[in-house]
Amino acid sequence: MAFELAHAVVYVTDMSQMVDFYTQTLGFKVADRGPLGQEPTEIVFLTKNPLHHHQLAFMNTRKDAGPSNSLNHLAFRVDSLDDVKTALRAVTEDPSASGVKPVTHGNAWSVYFKDPEGNGVEIFCDSPFHVQQPQAKGWDPQMDIQPLTSWTKETFESENEFGPIEKFYEQQTQNE
């Protein structure tokens, strides 16, 4: 099973400065942004790759003092739902992993957990859909691919920008 580092979510103190630096200096584009949970928390998704919704995301929740608190989680893309389920079984069976939970964002099926030192990790595969972010709902890892795909469509089809992931990627490539 191959893992691909797909994105990192970073806590920041000055959202404008960080977005300006990453877009103006490094050439990232803002893919989505919006409130996350209770105001005034905001999340901004950035990418340099038109085939990835985001490679970085920033949340304006960084604490000023104490040990480093910039990393929310590391995310690894895998090839299939079976790979996500294999990872889920592995972390569920390892007592040094904690906080294991399956989450879907509509555009991906994920398992989130904490590693032995408490760092957040996500292992996911793409779903067939694009959904404007942020989104997060639990999903049943006992479901096979077809019922899960149907459930995902029913759950997210009323959300903004819902549609085939291929159409989203095509639009991103055209905007390059």
pLDDT averaged over every residue in the chain: 90
DSSP 98-166: EEEEEEE-SSEEEEEEE-TTS-EEEEEEE-SEE-PSP--EE--TTS-HHHHHHHHHHHHTTSTT-EEHH
* SS3 (DSSP) at 78: coil
Contact (CB, 8 A) for 121 and 74: yes
Distance of alpha carbon 6 from alpha carbon 80, whole angstroms: 14
Range with lowest mean pLDDT among 84-88, 116-120, 160-164? 116-120
**176 band by pLDDT with thresholds 50, 70 and 90:** low
140 — pLDDT class (breaks 50, 70, 90): very high
Phi-psi region of 96 (alpha: psi -120 to 50; beta: other; left: phi over 0): alpha
Q: If pLDDT is split at 50, 70 and 90, which confidence band does 65 have?
A: low
Structural domain of residue 53, as residue ranges?
A: 4-174
pTM as predicted: 0.75
- CATH number for the domain including 29? 3.10.180.10
What is the tally of structural domains in the chain?
A: 1
